[in-house]
Structure 1
């Protein structure tokens, strides 16, 4: 597997540009994540970034749901990204054994790849909620698609994990649309 750290860094930059535009009025917007407002999704991203950052540094995270937006949602988000970025600078992270939520323990390179998939997917969710285009780099989408293709499509696996909705078939040739469908998102969401 190719080192995904630089792709993850670049994906976070695209996501940061989107999150930096969020206003307090935007926080109540619907998102492609069923039942979640934009505030819920941003809180989730803060939690995921903090969880991945701690796990990549120490091998596990004490809490994967500790993200808070507080009075400064963008500041909270940016702080969580800084934590992840700081861990990506350490070459040892690629070989470190990392426990990711209930999914199991993996080499760090796999955990970084999981974070990349999460960043790309939720970047699209945030762009959709804001009504903005999602301009993620083609090589990042291609790599995220290759990783998503490895997630079992079996409905029982997906319901057990709770993190993946059933695959949404798409006839689109777009790698982004295929990626979204594999993660249970309709590329046509509006």
Structure 2
């Protein structure tokens, strides 16, 4: 089983705040843009990112996440509304998860993560959250066609996690959080290596 020994919260906070900056550039006309996530436009991706912040925040509080834990604005009406509403909802969810992580006293306490179907130690859950949002930040930037420069410490730690994620047949299952790894060419920068290891192809056109 993959383990993480360090406290990933500082790097995670930097990564999440970086995504807030990128998401803030979204306009109404951007919401239907395609993203690197197959079948998801930008509105769908931002919905997922917002909901996952609330899922991890709930898990950090020692509870099993449910639909009711996705935040009042999301669970009540989804993301009907303007890009301004969506950006605000994302910002609120980001602050919620960072606050919840900061309040954790024991990083070895279990977090129940629905995608895994089981509990994992908190430090491992936060490590996966970090990787997820480094990658999703890139997804949003790619969709918006803007520059993405995540925090270097967040990238470095994400790379160590991405290199340790098993690349077995479970990656091909529909509920897998990561796609099968792609070949990493010599000389690839750290962010590109993370993307390829987790099944993202930066050279693939969006459709």
TM-score under structure 1 length normalisation: 0.92
Alpha-carbon distance change, 31 to 52 in structure 1, aligned in 2, over 3 angstroms: same
Residues in 1 aligned to 2:106 and 2:15: alpha-carbon distance in whole angstroms: 18
Structure 1 counterpart of 2:203: 188
Matches within 5 A, 1:33-72: 33-63=37-67, 66=70, 67=74, 68-71=78-81, 72=85
Between 1 and 2, higher relative CO (CA 8 Å, sep ≥ 6) is seen in 2
Partners of 1:87 and 1:93 within 8 A in 2: no
Question: How many residue pairs align between the two structures?
Answer: 189
1:106 alignment partner, SS class = strand
CA contact (8 A) 2:32 2:43 kept: yes
* Alignment TM-score, normalising by the size of structure 2: 0.85
Are 1:83 and 2:93 an aligned pair? no
Q: Residue 73 of structure 1 is aligned with which of 86, 90, 93?
A: 86
CA RMSD across the alignment: 1.7
Residue 139 of structure 1: how far off its partner (Å): 1.7
Change (3 A) 1:64 1:124: farther
**Per-residue Cα deviation, 1:79-134 (whole angstroms, up to 9, x for no partner):** 11121011122141513211111412111111111110111010000000000111
Question: 1:65 offset after TM fit, Å?
Answer: 9.0
Q: Which runs of 5+ in 1 are unaligned?
A: none
Moved more, 126-135 or 167-176: 167-176
Task: For 1:63 and 1:114, locate their aligned partners in 2 and report how far apart those are by CA, in whole Å.
Answer: 21
